[in-house]
Amino acid sequence: MEIIKTDTRIDFMSRRKVALIFSAILLLLSVGSLVTRGLNFGLDFTGGTLIEVSYPEAPALTDVRGSLEQAGYESFTVQNFGTARDIVVRLPAEVAGEEGADISTRVLDALSTVDAGVEIRRVEFVGPQIGEELANQGGLALLYALAGILLYVSFRFQWRFAVGAVAALIHDVLIVMGLISLFQLGFDLTVVAALLAVIGYSLNDTIVVYDRLRENFRVKRKGTATELTNLSINQMLSRTVMTSLTTMLVLIALFYFGGEIIHAFAYTLIVGVIVGTYSSIFIASTAAIVLGISKQDLMPVVKEGADQPDTEALPARFRNS
């Protein structure tokens, strides 16, 4: 069975201008949204208090708000979470700052005045000092991951590839974050973890294409960099589609069956896999070509007397006629 026909000869590279324009628009939108709307930072980063409770019967939100106002709280949000019986109360860090961790106890007391049968589902209190630390750590983690990858790819391939790969990764991270910002999804620690997983996945895809590109550069006698890139991407196309499909399947399972808490995580990864697959085809390879990758860059240092690599003719369908 084949999803992708075996002799595809899609000319990806001639469409790279269109792709670049498309990416540029996406990037502009993303950065624009990040600048104007910003990220809806979760509790992990801002500090504050979140309390999720479950009432035996769906309460009126106004009653819940009233109980909190009576307890002397002014700035808070009350929302349904999943079902009408589940309520989430969020309080900003400034409110918590004064009374410390005792705030969760007091809010729970207030909430139980609405209905004594209220059940605690989840309490999260994060002090302001923690939030700042986590934000720094998250940012550092992304930077270190990118640096580590840059080094490894430079070492295993060539610096032009490394730059191409990292350009693709930055492209992916920015667009995924842009989409999170556009839809104002909660940005918490699990989303940072998902972003790093996106980096891992997108890179995986990129490396697979690069690997084939390296092989083709070495064994094909003819063909320009553009032709060989086209050939490599086409050769790997059915693999790319198949792996993206299986990964998508589990992510969709996670999105629909994993519960509310894992939602943002699954969403980030789903968007990331789509963007990552696209970028490893259009951005990573294009970047390497723009930087002037050539056959000489990838030829192994020929030792005298050593076996020369096999060389094959470039299939006719990839020659520019």
Partner 1 sequence: MNRYPVWKYLLLIAVLVIGTLYALPNLFGEDPAVQVSSARGFELDPGLQDVVQEVLDSNEIEAQSTDFTPERLMVRVGNNETQLALADALRSELGDAYVVALNLAPATPGWLRAIGAEPMVLGLDLQGGVHFLMEVDMETAREQTLERFVDDIRNLLRDERIRYRSVRVQGDELVAELRSEEDRAQALQALAQELTELDIESFDGSQTFNIRAGVRPEVMTELQQTALQQNITTLRNRVNELGVAEPVIQQQGAERIVVQLPGVQDTAEAKRILGATATLEYRAVDEQNDPFEAQRTGRVPAQSRLYLERDGTPILLSRRLIASGENLTSASAGFDQQSGQPNVQVTLDAVGARRMLDFTSENVGNRMAVVFIEQRPVTEMVDGEEVSDMRRVEEVISVAVVREPFGRRFQTTGLGSSREASQLALLLRAGALAAPVQIIEERTVGPSLGADNIEQGFNSVIIGFCLVLVVMAIYYKVFGLVANLALTANLVLIIAMLSMIGATLTLPGIAGIVLTVGMAVDANVLIYERIKEELRLGNTPQAAIRAGYGKAFSTIADANVTTLIAALVLFMFGTGPVKGFAVTLSLGIITSMFTAIFGTRGVVNLIYGRKQRVAKLSI
- Identify residues 89-108 at the interface with partner 1 (CB under 8 A): 100-102, 104-105, 108
Angle 237-243-248 from CA coordinates, rounded to 5°: 125
Q: By C-beta, is 33 or 43 nearer to partner 1?
A: 43
Q: How many chain residues interact with partner 1 (CB under 8 A)?
A: 75
Residue 201 vs 282, nearer CB to partner 1? 201
Contact flag: residue 35 with partner 1 (CB under 8 A): no
Give 188-193's long-range contacts (Cβ < 8 A, gap of 24+).
188/41, 188/42, 188/43, 188/44, 188/45, 188/264, 189/42, 189/44, 189/134, 189/138, 190/261, 190/262, 190/264, 190/265, 191/42, 191/264, 191/265, 191/268, 192/138, 192/141, 192/142, 193/265
- Binder to partner 1 among 8, 70, 80, 204 (CB under 8 A)? 204
Q: How far is the CB of 28 from partner 1 (least distance, A)?
A: 27
Tokens of residue 213, six digits: 């590109």
Closest separation in Å from C-beta 311 to partner 1: 14
Residue 215 touches partner 1, criterion: CB under 8 A = yes
From residue 54 to residue 83, the character string flagging contacts with partner 1 as x (rule: CB under 8 A) and all else as - is x-----------------------------
What are the tokens at 284?
């990573």
Q: Which residue has the tokens 């198949």?
A: 242
Nearer to partner 1, 9 or 156 (CB): 156
Taking CB under 8 A as the criterion, the residue among 176, 179, 199, 298 binding partner 1 is: 199
User: Helices in 183-224 by DSSP H: which ranges?
Assistant: 189-219
With a CB cutoff of 8 Å and minimum separation 6, the contacts of 284 are: 164, 165, 167, 168, 206, 209, 210
Instruction: State which residue, 212 or 220, has the beta carbon closest to partner 1.
Output: 212
Contact criterion met (CB below 8 Å) for 124 and 108: no
Between 73 and 152, name the residue whose CB sits nearer to partner 1: 152
Contacts with partner 1, 106-125, as mask; x by CB under 8 A: --x----------xxxxxxx
With b for 16 or more beta-carbon neighbours within 10 A and e for fewer, the 5-27 pattern comes to eeeeeeebbeebeebeeebeebe
Smallest distance, Å, CB 133 to partner 1?
9
Residues 233-252 that bind partner 1 (CB under 8 A): 235-236, 238-239, 242-243, 245-252
Contact residue for partner 1 among 211, 218, 297, 314 (CB under 8 A): 211
Residue 38 or residue 148: which is nearer to partner 1 going by CB?
A: 148
Binding positions for partner 1, 133-192, rule CB under 8 A:
134, 137-138, 140-141, 144-145, 148-149, 152-153, 156, 189-190, 192
- Contact segment (CB under 8 A) with partner 1 among 170-178, 204-212, 226-234, 282-290 equals 204-212
| Residue 13 DSSP code | G
Amino acid at 230: N
Q: Alpha-carbon distance 238 to 205, whole Å?
A: 12
